[in-house]
Amino acid sequence: MKATANRLEVIWNFPNLLSGFRLVLAVGLFAALAWELYGVSLAIFLLASGTDWLDGWYARRYGQVTFLGRILDPFADKVIICGAFIFLLSARPLVEMAWGLRPWMVVVIVGREMFVTAIRSFLEQRGIDFSATWSGKWKMLLQSAAVIAALVYLSYPIGPERMAWLEWVVLLTLWAALVLTVLSGLIYALAASRLLRSQPSS
């Protein structure tokens, strides 16, 4: 009984609980986006981003990296990011903006996440470590920046009061995130190819 309790304590440690909490926040985020409560959406997304940083730092700092955490943390990130972009497609100011958010962009973002997840699952089932690279971390940072910029833009008063510079921030972060999304997917594909070639044939 004590061994089971200890095992559960290791599995559901503080970082993993934070990752689980982000999934709960994702539900609130999507509900707020559906109701066009963009200020609330912004607050929830910022809180989720903060817990993402905190659980990663805490797990590394106190040696609480677990197998569940390696799955749950990126899963929560992907749910929040992909879901946010999908819901933002219903925001007319973004899709009507010249060079703004388009459905094909969201397909690229979601498709890249599914592709990398499939590669990681394939390799780690064979005992090959396939941790996140710098490109993946910067991709996540830029995607988060694009969502935050979009929510700030949508929360701003509609009309001439909406500053042109804010629109440029949305466009720059969105396209930068898209470019790095594609680039990081290619980097992961090349890295996976090298790892597979380096493995002895069975």
Most confident residue range from 94-108, 123-137, 180-194: 94-108
- Residue 202 per-residue DSSP state: -
Higher pLDDT, 150 or 194: 150
Average pLDDT of the residues in 66-89: 88
Residue 200, pLDDT score:
64
Per-residue pLDDT band at 119 (split at 50, 70, 90): confident
Residue 67 exposed, middle or buried by CB count within 10 Å (0-12, 13-18, 19+): exposed
Helix axes 38-61, 14-34, angle to 10 degrees: 170
Distance CA 160, CA 143 (A): 27
Which of 116, 125, 105, 121 shows the shortest CA–CA distance to 170?
105
**Global confidence as pTM:** 0.88
Mean residue pLDDT of the chain comes to 85
Residues 13-64 pLDDT 10s: 878 888 899 999 999 999 999 999 999 999 999 999 998 888 777 667 767 6
Q: Which of 40-44, 80-84, 183-187, 190-194 shows the lowest per-residue confidence on average (mean pLDDT)?
A: 190-194
| Domains defined along the chain, listed by start | 2-198 (1.20.120.1760)
Percent of the chain with pLDDT over 90: 53
